[in-house]
Amino acid sequence: MNNQIPPKHHRMCCQCIMDTTDPDIVFDSNGTCNYCNEVEILFNKTKRTEEESARKLNEIIGQIKRDGEGKEYDCLLGISGGVDSSYVAYLAKQFDLRPLTIHFDNGWDSELAVSNISKLMQILNLDLQTYVIDWEEFRDLQRSFIKASVIDIEILTDHAIMAAMFKIAQEHQIPYILTGVNDATENGMPKSWVWSKRDLKNIRAIQKRFGTRNLKSFPTLGTWRWIFIKYFANKYKFIDLLNYISFKKCDAIAVLKDKVGWRYYGGKHYESLFTKFYQAYILPEKFGVDKRKVHFSSLIRNKELTREQALEELAKPLYDPVELKNDKEYILKKLGFTDEQFNGLMNAPPRPHDYYPSDHKMVEILRYLREKLTKGKVS
């Protein structure tokens, strides 16, 4: 079923476990991949002493508190029940911030994710607002993207979360948005494995081609509006708290387990049932992509995992056969696909996102502007 032809000369980085299943990977004369080299440059560029990080973090926290005086909430935080967002919620409470936490319910929450969120809200005494998407509309969108044979089906959830967060920020007049984004454990993702989350034109084009419903309630935020809000309006600020501490995912998990009874769900973003099925089945079977290589490699660079340990983990099956059977039955039934229909789509040749109308050129403009605006700056 795997449509990606294995490379004739397989090669793996000598430092991480990224390899030539990424068609754009490049190795230097020492056998080190471009991702390891790029991350080393990034880490050196953003490196701060503990005192510098603490001072910068205190400045940010102080500014959020001052701007939030007299308001019910001083910041906004999206929460999924996963490690990063849960730990940011924990830190926000430690810093005496008053976040309004937002959970985006797209119909695929695992019981464990719901339980983790519930524990966090109760023990940390945080207010939660759940943004529930129209399931029938969202299901039709996911069906369309599977039919389109494009690689990044998760663009739908990521785009909607971003748009919903802006909508809620505007409604409550909250200028600060805390994120779980971090350089330490989120780096080295091949461009060919994902697509721009802001490509609204691509979403609409694929839905028009394969869908049966008009997009009426699906939250959207187009590329040009995103550029204006983020780089020119200067009204909303994204605060990546985890970049101002010495962040290690293993330490965050230990703290969450001890302080709030949080439980791990087994993989990157596996708090979502669909994301688990997508990453552990659709991506490797249809596109020849195993995202564990990226996730483990970032942990190697962050010195949380040795290369040998990563290779041992990579050798393990992505899915327990019984669990795969049960998950596949549940997900296909919920999406409205028969086995025959879904298997036919899995066997269809992959299509690049820009095979369909796309904002790709505008995304390149955004990237250019971002590089110009951030060149030589360390926030």
Asked whether residue 364 is assigned to any structural domain, the reply reads yes
Asked whether residue 296 is assigned to any structural domain, the reply reads no
Residues 191-201 have a mean pLDDT of: 93
- pLDDT-derived band at 378, boundaries 50, 70, 90: very low
Asked whether residue 95 is assigned to any structural domain, the reply reads yes
Q: What is the CATH number of the domain that holds 348?
A: 3.40.50.620
Q: Give the pLDDT score at 229.
A: 73
Asked whether residue 33 is assigned to any structural domain, the reply reads no
Q: Is the pLDDT of residue 78 over 80?
A: yes
Residues sharing a CB contact under 8 Å with residue 109, sequence separation 6 or more, in sequence order:
81, 271, 272, 273
Q: What percent of the chain has pLDDT over 70?
A: 92
Q: Give the pLDDT score at 204.
A: 97
Q: Is the pLDDT of residue 237 over 60?
A: yes
- pLDDT-derived band at 8, boundaries 50, 70, 90: low
Q: Is the pLDDT of residue 2 over 50?
A: no
Q: What percent of the chain has pLDDT over 90?
A: 76
**Rounded distance, CA 58 to CA 53, Å?**
8
- 48-67 tens-digit pLDDT: 888 898 999 999 999 999 99
Residues 186-204 have a mean pLDDT of: 94
In 3D, which of 162, 163, 161, 144 has the Cα closest to residue 202?
A: 144
Asked whether residue 179 is assigned to any structural domain, the reply reads yes
Helix locations, 29-134, DSSP H = 34-46, 50-67, 83-94, 111-124
Mean pLDDT highest for which of 4-8, 331-335, 358-362?
A: 331-335
Asked whether residue 26 is assigned to any structural domain, the reply reads no
- pLDDT-derived band at 368, boundaries 50, 70, 90: confident
Enclosing H/E stretch for 376: none
**Rounded distance, CA 326 to CA 329, Å?**
5
For 304, what's the count of Cα atoms within 13 Å in the CB-facing half-sphere?
Answer: 16
Residues 218-231 have a mean pLDDT of: 79
In 3D, which of 68, 78, 56 has the Cα closest to residue 98?
A: 68
Q: Give the pLDDT score at 61.
A: 97
Residues sharing a CB contact under 8 Å with residue 198, sequence separation 6 or more, in sequence order:
159, 162, 221, 222, 223, 226, 359, 363, 366
Residues 222-248 have a mean pLDDT of: 82
DSSP state of 130: E
Residues 120-125 have a mean pLDDT of: 96
Q: Give the pLDDT score at 374.
A: 62
- pLDDT-derived band at 303, boundaries 50, 70, 90: very high
Question: Domain containing 367: what range?
Answer: 45-288+319-374
Residue 227, number of CB atoms within 10 A of its CB:
18
Cβ atoms 195, 155 nearer than 8 A: yes
Q: Give the pLDDT score at 247.
A: 92
Q: Give the pLDDT score at 175.
A: 93
Q: Give the pLDDT score at 224.
A: 76
Q: Give the pLDDT score at 272.
A: 85
Residues 243-250 have a mean pLDDT of: 92
- 148-182 tens-digit pLDDT: 999 999 999 999 999 999 999 989 999 999 999 99
- Total domains in the chain come to 1
In whole numbers, what is the pLDDT of the chain averaged over residues? 91
Q: Give the pLDDT score at 269.
A: 52
Asked whether residue 20 is assigned to any structural domain, the reply reads no
Distances 60 to 65, 79, 100, 178 between C-alpha atoms, Å: 9, 20, 18, 11
- Its pTM stands at 0.89
- pLDDT-derived band at 3, boundaries 50, 70, 90: very low
Which residues sit opposite 27 in a β-bridge?
Answer: 33
Asked whether residue 236 is assigned to any structural domain, the reply reads yes
